[in-house]
Amino acid sequence: MTGLQVLQPGPLSLLQDGGRFGWQHLGVSPAGPLDLSAAAWANHLLGNHWGSPLLEVALGGLTLRSQVDTWVAVCGADLPISVDGLPRPNWSRFALHAGQQLHLGFARSGQRAYLAVAGGFTAPPQLGSVATQQREGIGGLHGDGRALQTGDLLRCASAALACVASVPWRYIPDYQQLALLRVITGGDALSFNEDQLQSFFAQHWSLSPQSNRMGARLCGTPLLAPALLPARQWSQGVSSGAIQVPGDGQPIILMADRQSMGGYPLLGWLHPLDLGRLAQVPAHHEVGFTAISLSDAQAELRCFYRFFRG
């Protein structure tokens, strides 16, 4: 099988799919795309199944040469897209013919773009998934957690679609606006003093450059975390979006490559669909938070999955 050859991999381009589930009891994180919405739109534009393998391209700088006649879709960070030097629109699908070069320039806003191909990329699964997890050295094109490298071949089949298509404008986020992220309070939230909870929601937090696919670290006026209850003598299971408050009072929001256990107090959980918006925030830029009820978050998530998964 032929596919797309990597001429320039960019700073960090990772093969991802819907995630690796069912192994967290052994400490294996789910991985998968950081921006679930952008990845879902890229696959949806091509008629791919939910979670079909695609590329997460951090910052841009990716160049591929096609060996097949196929169609691709790019969604996410605002970056220049071209085929043989001719521009192509973001949040859209378009044809890519054998011998042509596809180039993704560097992001003007946002941090991650998602490149899907009709039918999805093909790679040997590890523990049921091709999702790349660099820290654990699992998944990806070679099964060892490596990012894409020059000379790699992204295997895919030829495909033909009827015409170009784009995501409706109202569903395309503006990454230049302040990210106001929704939080489901819970966990140890009642153990925090009320003024500390108000401080979390009232201030704007800066995203630390130490953030990565494992966790987004916030910088701001420190929170005074409550002392853990004497009954808790061990760590507990954590999920993506969990907002941990370590001893320095600077919250950490767990992302796709997170650990599976944690002992820091939990203030709550970020709305699952807002994790993607957080993943598009550059270092040193500010984010804000607002509260949302569990029922409202669940209702929105049901609509999301009903649309993309059918």
The reply to whether 103 and 124 lie within a common domain is yes
DSSP state for residue 24 in the 8-state scheme: G
The reply to whether 164 and 205 lie within a common domain is no
The reply to whether 114 and 226 lie within a common domain is no
Residue 277: what pLDDT? 97
Residue 14: what pLDDT? 98
The reply to whether 140 and 275 lie within a common domain is no
DSSP E strands in 134-255: the ranges are: 153-155, 165-166, 179-185, 205-207, 215-219, 236-237, 242-244, 252-254
111 phi and psi angles, rounded to 5 deg: -125, -25
The reply to whether 240 and 275 lie within a common domain is yes
Its pTM stands at 0.95
Quick check: 77 and 83 in contact, CB under 8 A? no
The reply to whether 150 and 244 lie within a common domain is no
Structural domain boundaries enclosing 269: 179-309
In sequence order, which residues have a C-beta less than 8 Å from that of residue 271 and are 6 or more positions away?
A: 181, 182, 183, 184, 241, 292, 297, 300
**Distance of alpha carbon 37 from alpha carbon 124, whole angstroms:** 25
Residue 142: what pLDDT? 93
Residue 55: what pLDDT? 98
The token pair at 263 is 């002992």
Quick check: 178 and 144 in contact, CB under 8 A? no
The reply to whether 110 and 84 lie within a common domain is yes
List the chain residues with pLDDT less than 50: 230
Residue 233: what pLDDT? 55
275 phi and psi angles, rounded to 5 deg: -60, -35
The reply to whether 163 and 146 lie within a common domain is yes
The tally of domains found in the chain comes to 2
